[in-house]
Amino acid sequence: MNRPRRRRHIGWWLLLAAIVVLTGIAFSIMWRPALAPQATPPSFDQARIERGANLANLGMCASCHTADLSRPFAGGKPMETPFGTVHSTNITPDRDTGIGAWSPEAFTRSMREGVSRDGHLLYPAFPYNHYVRMTQDDIDDLYAYFMTRPAIAAPARDNAMTFPFGFRPLVGFWNVLYLDDAPWRPDPRQSAEWNRGAYLADAVAHCAACHTPRTKLGGPDLKRQLDGGEAEDWYAPALNRHSPSPLPWTREALQAYLRTGMAEDHAVAGGPMQDVVMHLAQADAGDVAALAAWTHGHLSQAPARTTPAQQDGPLPQPAADDPELPRMRLGYELYANSCARCHDVGRAPSSGAALPLQKAIALYDPDPRSLIHIVDSGILPPDGEAGRWMPGFKAILTDEQAGALAAYLRKYGAGQPAWPELDEQVSKARAP
């Protein structure tokens, strides 16, 4: 009579012990202690500050942490994610609203573990899963740069996360799945320049954050590294053998593109890539050359292909037997009236010069979003700077017209199969 009762008691004790152990594990995953505020920031030598400035440009830090150009690094910029809107934070040395009270240890912890000085977990919209592989010297240089910027008072804006992602401690479980703190290792088979570019691309510039697909939990799909991803609803093309580029890239073209946003026979930088180029233009030229060497090492794996990009000249009228003839005729008319006057000229030293659309990578992407956004918003150079310019047509094109133009350009410009669910993609991309 007593044995079953003892067994039940033992079972309850085992269950309670399991709950205690699991609670302890969950607590260790989700909670971090606050670090004491520093009384006085350390002093820094000018060489360290200058190295930090270069790293900040290579990492495009201002791109996310600056909402108002007159208040650099003061944060407040909204970033849309599948889990809600995250606002970037103030990383100026203001003591109350920025990182002025952060010690070097607190800054390092944020970069390597994604933990704020007060102990709360940072959302991985801040790419600490890349920064974790930075050398300590580089983290220290970056800290020196930020701690010597003008202090700006800018309280953090509230995030708008969907349930249950507003509960920050859950990020701890994301870290278990996706935060790999193994140090970066060079590839002995590659040159010193390639390895420098590989380190910068992975640990500092976090190229894979945009150019690698993500899982449903928002982590990188490491089985598809550099297979193409997205950034701010733009398609970020693959940087490996799956590259959709209609023409092969050379190292020289990549270096020019990363510094200026333009390269012969390739489309100009648009969308989020314009911010990347703007910052790389201010970075060390040797580091940008190393990034180009690393990128070319991956893109050179793409097989040679025959595409309409090998030919210049106007795009043709749709075939008389095209099964979508009315839609293609509408697309052609829009192309002829709005696009051809610039793009048929080709890149010549004239005011109307533009890339022949057979060479535009957005037509070859497996996803039409970049083309839709380019047609809608155009391409503008940074404020106050000269550069290639294209007007946007969102105000004058209906969804039907935008879809017809995209369908025509895809078929008769790139010679590629139709994008699936194009009309739905157009409506979604153009939604307010």
Binding residue ranges for heme c: 61, 64-65, 207, 210-211, 339, 342-343
Other beta carbons within 10 angstroms of residue 247's beta carbon come to: 17
Peptide bond into 33 cis (omega under 30): no
Q: Which residues are annotated as a binding site?
A: 61, 64-65, 207, 210-211, 339, 342-343
Angle, helix 369-377 to helix 399-408, in steps of 10 degrees: 120
> Cα separation of 399 and 427, whole Å?
6
How far from 275 is each of 3, 294, 378, CA to CA, in Å? 72, 20, 15
> Cα separation of 44 and 261, whole Å?
34
Instruction: Report which of 207, 194, 298 is spatially closest to residue 258, judged by C-alpha positions.
Output: 207
Instruction: Report which of 179, 180, 93 is spatially closest to residue 143, judged by C-alpha positions.
Output: 93
Report yes or no: 288 and 296 within 8 Å, Cβ to Cβ: no
Report yes or no: 361 and 244 within 8 Å, Cβ to Cβ: yes
Q: Which are the contacts of 207, defined by CB distance < 8 A and separation ≥ 6?
A: 201, 226, 239, 295
Place of tokens 């995953």: 29
Place of tokens 């890149």: 347
